[in-house]
Structure formats: structure tokens, C-alpha cells
Structure 1
């Protein structure tokens, strides 16, 4: 029995598991997410609670006349990949603040602000407001299969892409994708 455990540990230490699979650290597994462009497509009606405690229809922020692109992150404080990517979303919000693109982290925590505010304070999140998705209504309306799920919404209020799982949102590649999909298009380059 001991010999079998040592052999298994040796295989793990050597970087290969039975069947030829290479193990990845748990952190790397949580960080895997692929941005999938599937739009543009209309959004369902979504209501969130904003940082001031008011219910806001998402269409009042994006869509005709509003002109804001949105990175809508569906998350919760109990979700390890959500917690891991939150600092990168905070940095993304700083990078995009002057470009008319909002980063909205919509928490589905049942404790609401009483749970989210201490989490933001403890983790040093400074550029994101505590948006709430009461009863996970937006999560269901958007058909999210799990948390975190991030929806990229263009200034016309259309879903352009989504990413299921955690991501390094402040990486050069994802920042460029967010700008391209959520930013205000240059005249004559309007996406269809």
C-alpha cells in the first residue's frame, strides 16, 4: 500500500498522471476562461441594485441614449474563482474609467451589501461599487451556467461576448477585447 502511494506521488511530482495528463495547480484551473463572441444579441430585461441601493434597469445604463458599454461580472464572495479575479476587475475599472465603459460586479450573495462591503474592504477593492443581483434574477435571465460569468455589453445594449470562469481581466489581450467589444465605435466602424 505504501509503495503504491509513493509511486502515485512520484507520478504527480514528475508532472504526469496516469493517462498522460499533466496536473495543473488549482489556481491555474480557476483562472481558465475563454472569451466567446456570440453577438450582437439583445439582452433580457435585467434589474440590479446599484451601489446607492436603488433598483436599476440595465437598459437605463446602456442602450440608445445612454451610451455606456458594460463589463457585467456575475459573482459571489463564496466563489473562489470570483474572489481570485476581483482585483483584476478592479484594475480593469481603473483602466476604462475615462472610456465610457463600466465594470459592474453583480453579487448574488444572499447577505447583500452586508456581505459585499466587508469583502471589498478586506480585499482592497476600491474602484468597483457593490452592485447586487437580488435572488440571482439577472444570473438566471442571462442563462449563466455558473459563477463567475462575465458578459460584455456594447453601448447599444447588446451582448457581444461572454466568459465563463475566472480571468485575468487586466491582461493586455482581455483589455483590448473589452475596448473593442464594449467601447464606442469610431465613426464608420459601427459593429453589426
Structure 2
């Protein structure tokens, strides 16, 4: 398992590549589910009132390698995020309630995603438990052959294999104003509420990221 961190702070070049990747993703994305409105949206926000302090903690700890991470202004449940698990079964964020989740969208054609994956793998190896999981969702279109080959070649063996070849997850997050490029990373609390988000790569196996996970998981 590779332990070398591919970078420290994300470079301007990688952020630019990520933004371009987002434009490409948006051009080929074809699947969007509607988000709730009215009473349904109000209920979702009410359910996340207890996450306000966690979102503030995210903002306070967003420094160093994860300085681009932003605490959610209004913690809320995210709708329409459906993807497949390792066995091919359909999953939503409700399947992970009880765990703090670092949700990441990546693709093999996204250069900063490829550089970031070993760090996500290392974070899962260090902090993964029944209370925390890195949920890295591949959004390559087509078959599983290319993403699985990439993970094997780079020694990313700790992360479970999550997949959305329809790119519906990316589209849903784009509609929510949370995704403009790749990679996209969200911090979701144990109740399934969004407490932080970030576009672009980061060294997720660094001490700042580990401290963040420890702190928000304890709240």
C-alpha cells in the first residue's frame, strides 16, 4: 500500500484541471433527480439543526492541507444521491447513518482525483471504523474495467468500491451548488446531514484531516 503523499496543498494547476473536469462532467451528465421543496425541505433542515456546531467545527479546522474545505451554512440532508455498493446493490446516504462519512466523487480521467486517491485510501486505513468511512464514488461512464484497474495499479485496496456510471450523484450535487469540478468531497455527519464541502484535491491523510474527522465524529 503506497504511503507517499502525492502533494501538500492543492496547486493552482490541479484546481484548474479539476474545474475543467467539472465542465466535461457537466457536458456528459444525463441524470438528475428533483430535490425536495416546501415542507419536505423544511423538515430536512429541521432534522439537521443539531449539526450546526459540527459545521462550525469544520470551518474552524479547515486549515493547512484542507484549507479549501467549507463548513455548511445550513446543514441539511442531501436528496437524490443514489449509487451502487461493492455488491452492485443500490445505496443512498441513509445506508451510512450512524457513521461520519467523507463522501468523495472521482473519475479515472480526472488528474487531481488520481493523485488524491492514495491519500483517501490512507485515511480510511487510519480512521475507518464503525463510526467513520471514506465513501469514494467512481463516476466513470461505461464498464468497471478502467476504475478497478486503476485502483489495483495504485494499491488502493482499503476503500470499498462505490460506483455511479450514470453520473447522477455528480448532477445532483451540481444542482445543489456543491459540485463544479472533480474531485468533490463532502463531510456528512452520523445523521446524514451535510456539514462541510470542498471542490478540488487535498492531502486527506494529513494530520489536519485526521483531527477534523476525530473532532466531528466526537460531537
Q: TM-score, normalised by structure 2?
A: 0.66
Where structure 2 has 5 or more consecutive residues not aligned to the other structure, the ranges are 1-9, 16-64
Query: Does structure 1 residue 28 correspond to structure 2 residue 59?
Result: no
Change in Cα spacing, 1:179 to 1:139, as seen in structure 2 (3 Å) is farther
Alignment RMSD, CA only? Answer: 1.8
- Spell out the pairing of 1:62-77 with structure 2 (5 A cutoff): 62=97, 67-77=98-108
Q: Which has the higher helix share?
A: 2
Count, aligned residues: 154
Change in Cα spacing, 1:99 to 1:54, as seen in structure 2 (3 Å) is closer
Query: Does structure 1 residue 152 correspond to structure 2 residue 187?
Result: yes
Selected match of 1:134 from 165, 172, 188: 165
Deviates more, 1:39-48 or 1:149-158: 39-48
Contact 1:148–1:166, Cα closer than 8 Å, also in 2: yes
1:125 match: 156
Q: Once superposed, which parts of structure 1, at least 4 consecutive aligned residues long, lie more than 3 Å away?
A: none
Q: Name the CA distance, whole Å, in 1 between partners of 2:111 and 2:148.
A: 17
Q: Name the CA distance, whole Å, in 1 between partners of 2:94 and 2:124.
A: 20
Deviation per residue, 1:100-151 (Å, 9 max, x gap): 1110111110134222111111011010122112311111112211100100
Which has the higher relative contact order, 1 or 2, with Cα contacts under 8 A spaced 6 or more apart?
A: 2
